[in-house]
Amino acid sequence: MIPRVATAKASQLKLIDLNQIFSYRHSVFVERLNWTLPDAGAGLEVDQFDRDNTYHVCIRDAGATVGYARLLPTTEPYLLSEVFPELMDGALIPRSSAVWELSRFCSVDLRSPSEPRRQADFGGCQAVLRAAVQCALEHDVSRLIAVSSVAMERILSRLGVNASRASPTKQLHGHSVFAFWIDLDDMTKNALRITFSAAEAA
Protein backbone atom coordinates (compact mmCIF):
# COMPACT_ATOMS: atom_id res chain seq x y z
CA MET A 1 0.00 0.00 0.00
CA ILE A 2 1.28 3.47 -0.91
CA PRO A 3 1.60 5.78 2.14
CA ARG A 4 -0.98 8.57 2.24
CA VAL A 5 -0.02 12.22 2.67
CA ALA A 6 -2.36 14.46 4.67
CA THR A 7 -1.78 18.19 5.24
CA ALA A 8 -4.27 20.37 7.11
CA LYS A 9 -4.68 23.17 9.61
CA ALA A 10 -5.51 22.04 13.12
CA SER A 11 -8.91 23.73 12.88
CA GLN A 12 -9.75 21.40 9.97
CA LEU A 13 -8.92 18.21 11.88
CA LYS A 14 -11.06 16.12 14.19
CA LEU A 15 -9.97 15.64 17.79
CA ILE A 16 -9.22 11.97 17.13
CA ASP A 17 -6.82 12.96 14.32
CA LEU A 18 -5.07 15.55 16.49
CA ASN A 19 -4.69 13.05 19.31
CA GLN A 20 -3.14 10.55 16.90
CA ILE A 21 -0.63 13.23 15.87
CA PHE A 22 0.21 14.17 19.46
CA SER A 23 0.50 10.51 20.46
CA TYR A 24 2.92 9.86 17.58
CA ARG A 25 5.01 12.88 18.56
CA HIS A 26 5.14 11.64 22.16
CA SER A 27 6.26 8.18 21.02
CA VAL A 28 9.02 9.60 18.84
CA PHE A 29 10.35 12.57 20.77
CA VAL A 30 9.67 11.66 24.41
CA GLU A 31 9.84 7.86 24.46
CA ARG A 32 12.45 7.20 21.75
CA LEU A 33 14.61 10.31 21.67
CA ASN A 34 14.24 11.16 25.38
CA TRP A 35 13.59 14.84 24.76
CA THR A 36 12.59 16.84 27.83
CA LEU A 37 9.34 18.49 26.77
CA PRO A 38 7.51 20.21 29.65
CA ASP A 39 4.04 20.02 28.11
CA ALA A 40 4.19 16.30 27.31
CA GLY A 41 1.86 14.22 29.45
CA ALA A 42 -0.68 11.42 29.35
CA GLY A 43 0.99 9.98 26.26
CA LEU A 44 0.47 13.16 24.22
CA GLU A 45 3.04 15.77 23.20
CA VAL A 46 1.34 19.14 22.81
CA ASP A 47 2.79 22.61 23.30
CA GLN A 48 1.81 26.28 23.08
CA PHE A 49 2.50 26.38 19.36
CA ASP A 50 -0.21 23.84 18.52
CA ARG A 51 -2.78 26.46 17.60
CA ASP A 52 -5.85 26.36 15.35
CA ASN A 53 -3.84 27.83 12.46
CA THR A 54 -0.94 25.40 12.83
CA TYR A 55 -0.40 23.18 9.79
CA HIS A 56 0.18 19.48 10.39
CA VAL A 57 1.82 17.32 7.74
CA CYS A 58 1.30 13.58 8.23
CA ILE A 59 2.42 10.52 6.30
CA ARG A 60 0.24 7.50 7.06
CA ASP A 61 0.60 3.88 6.06
CA ALA A 62 -2.31 1.50 6.63
CA GLY A 63 -3.72 3.93 9.19
CA ALA A 64 -0.47 4.32 11.16
CA THR A 65 1.45 7.59 11.24
CA VAL A 66 4.98 7.04 9.89
CA GLY A 67 6.11 10.63 9.34
CA TYR A 68 5.23 14.10 10.55
CA ALA A 69 6.12 17.79 10.44
CA ARG A 70 4.60 20.96 11.86
CA LEU A 71 4.52 24.29 10.04
CA LEU A 72 4.21 27.61 11.88
CA PRO A 73 4.15 31.16 10.50
CA THR A 74 6.97 33.26 11.94
CA THR A 75 4.64 36.26 12.19
CA GLU A 76 3.39 34.63 15.42
CA PRO A 77 5.37 33.13 18.32
CA TYR A 78 7.17 29.93 17.28
CA LEU A 79 9.67 27.45 18.67
CA LEU A 80 12.89 29.20 17.63
CA SER A 81 11.70 32.67 18.64
CA GLU A 82 10.34 31.66 22.05
CA VAL A 83 12.30 28.59 23.20
CA PHE A 84 15.64 28.66 21.36
CA PRO A 85 16.39 32.35 20.57
CA GLU A 86 19.92 31.97 21.98
CA LEU A 87 20.71 29.65 19.09
CA MET A 88 20.75 32.61 16.71
CA ASP A 89 23.73 34.13 18.55
CA GLY A 90 22.35 37.65 18.33
CA ALA A 91 21.25 37.36 14.69
CA LEU A 92 17.81 38.64 13.75
CA ILE A 93 14.96 36.27 14.62
CA PRO A 94 12.89 35.80 11.44
CA ARG A 95 9.43 37.37 11.49
CA SER A 96 7.95 37.40 8.02
CA SER A 97 4.93 36.06 6.17
CA ALA A 98 7.40 34.63 3.65
CA VAL A 99 9.13 32.50 6.31
CA TRP A 100 7.58 29.55 8.15
CA GLU A 101 9.11 27.36 10.82
CA LEU A 102 9.41 23.62 10.28
CA SER A 103 9.36 21.76 13.59
CA ARG A 104 8.75 18.33 15.16
CA PHE A 105 10.10 16.90 11.91
CA CYS A 106 10.41 13.11 11.97
CA SER A 107 9.88 9.92 10.00
CA VAL A 108 9.76 6.84 12.19
CA ASP A 109 7.64 3.74 11.61
CA LEU A 110 6.87 2.69 15.17
CA ARG A 111 5.66 -0.72 13.92
CA SER A 112 9.12 -1.72 12.72
CA PRO A 113 12.29 -2.40 14.69
CA SER A 114 14.77 0.41 14.13
CA GLU A 115 17.55 2.35 15.76
CA PRO A 116 15.90 3.70 18.95
CA ARG A 117 17.68 7.05 18.74
CA ARG A 118 16.81 7.70 15.11
CA GLN A 119 14.61 10.71 14.34
CA ALA A 120 14.25 10.12 10.62
CA ASP A 121 15.10 7.73 7.80
CA PHE A 122 16.01 8.99 4.34
CA GLY A 123 12.96 7.80 2.39
CA GLY A 124 10.46 8.92 4.99
CA CYS A 125 12.24 12.23 5.46
CA GLN A 126 11.98 12.89 1.73
CA ALA A 127 8.21 12.26 1.73
CA VAL A 128 7.57 14.47 4.77
CA LEU A 129 9.73 17.32 3.51
CA ARG A 130 8.16 17.18 0.03
CA ALA A 131 4.68 17.54 1.55
CA ALA A 132 5.80 20.33 3.90
CA VAL A 133 7.49 22.30 1.13
CA GLN A 134 4.48 21.87 -1.15
CA CYS A 135 2.20 23.25 1.58
CA ALA A 136 4.51 26.19 2.24
CA LEU A 137 4.75 27.06 -1.45
CA GLU A 138 0.97 27.10 -1.72
CA HIS A 139 0.98 29.87 0.91
CA ASP A 140 3.62 32.05 -0.78
CA VAL A 141 6.37 31.01 1.62
CA SER A 142 9.89 31.31 0.22
CA ARG A 143 11.97 29.98 3.14
CA LEU A 144 11.65 27.54 6.01
CA ILE A 145 13.65 27.78 9.21
CA ALA A 146 14.04 24.91 11.65
CA VAL A 147 15.88 23.74 14.75
CA SER A 148 17.11 20.16 14.78
CA SER A 149 19.90 17.82 15.80
CA VAL A 150 23.07 17.97 13.71
CA ALA A 151 22.24 14.54 12.26
CA MET A 152 19.57 16.23 10.14
CA GLU A 153 22.29 18.12 8.24
CA ARG A 154 23.51 14.89 6.64
CA ILE A 155 20.00 13.95 5.54
CA LEU A 156 19.40 17.40 4.03
CA SER A 157 22.67 17.12 2.12
CA ARG A 158 21.68 13.72 0.72
CA LEU A 159 18.27 15.06 -0.28
CA GLY A 160 19.93 17.81 -2.30
CA VAL A 161 17.73 20.64 -1.07
CA ASN A 162 19.06 24.19 -0.72
CA ALA A 163 19.75 24.11 3.01
CA SER A 164 22.21 26.25 4.95
CA ARG A 165 23.08 26.91 8.56
CA ALA A 166 21.35 29.80 10.30
CA SER A 167 23.27 29.33 13.56
CA PRO A 168 26.29 27.60 15.08
CA THR A 169 25.84 24.24 16.80
CA LYS A 170 25.08 24.44 20.51
CA GLN A 171 24.43 21.99 23.30
CA LEU A 172 20.87 22.48 24.52
CA HIS A 173 19.07 20.11 26.89
CA GLY A 174 21.75 17.50 26.32
CA HIS A 175 21.54 17.57 22.52
CA SER A 176 23.74 19.10 19.80
CA VAL A 177 21.35 21.30 17.84
CA PHE A 178 21.46 24.05 15.25
CA ALA A 179 19.08 26.25 13.26
CA PHE A 180 18.99 25.94 9.50
CA TRP A 181 17.32 27.47 6.48
CA ILE A 182 15.69 25.68 3.57
CA ASP A 183 15.20 27.95 0.56
CA LEU A 184 12.14 26.96 -1.46
CA ASP A 185 13.79 27.66 -4.79
CA ASP A 186 14.24 25.63 -7.97
CA MET A 187 17.09 23.64 -6.39
CA THR A 188 14.85 22.46 -3.55
CA LYS A 189 11.82 21.86 -5.78
CA ASN A 190 13.87 19.83 -8.24
CA ALA A 191 15.46 17.78 -5.45
CA LEU A 192 12.02 16.93 -4.06
CA ARG A 193 10.43 16.50 -7.51
CA ILE A 194 7.95 19.31 -6.94
CA THR A 195 6.36 21.03 -9.90
CA PHE A 196 4.76 24.22 -8.67
CA SER A 197 4.03 27.74 -9.83
CA ALA A 198 2.25 30.62 -8.09
CA ALA A 199 -0.44 30.52 -10.78
CA GLU A 200 -1.32 26.93 -9.87
CA ALA A 201 -2.09 27.94 -6.29
CA ALA A 202 -4.23 30.93 -7.28
Q: Which residue has the higher pLDDT, 146 or 198?
A: 146
**What was the pLDDT predicted at 173?**
65
Share of the chain above pLDDT 70, in %: 88
**Could you tell me which residues are beta bridge partners of residue 182?**
144, 163
Does residue 6 carry a pLDDT above 70?
yes
CATH number of the domain encompassing residue 14: 3.40.630.30
- Per-residue pLDDT of 103-150, as tens digits, reads 999 988 888 766 555 555 667 889 999 999 999 999 999 999 999 888
Question: What does the CA dihedral 161, 175, 23, 117 come to, rounded to 10 degrees?
Answer: 80
Share of the chain above pLDDT 90, in %: 59
- How many domains is the chain partitioned into structurally? 1
Per-residue pLDDT band for 199 (boundaries 50, 70, 90) equals very low
Range of the domain at 53: 4-201
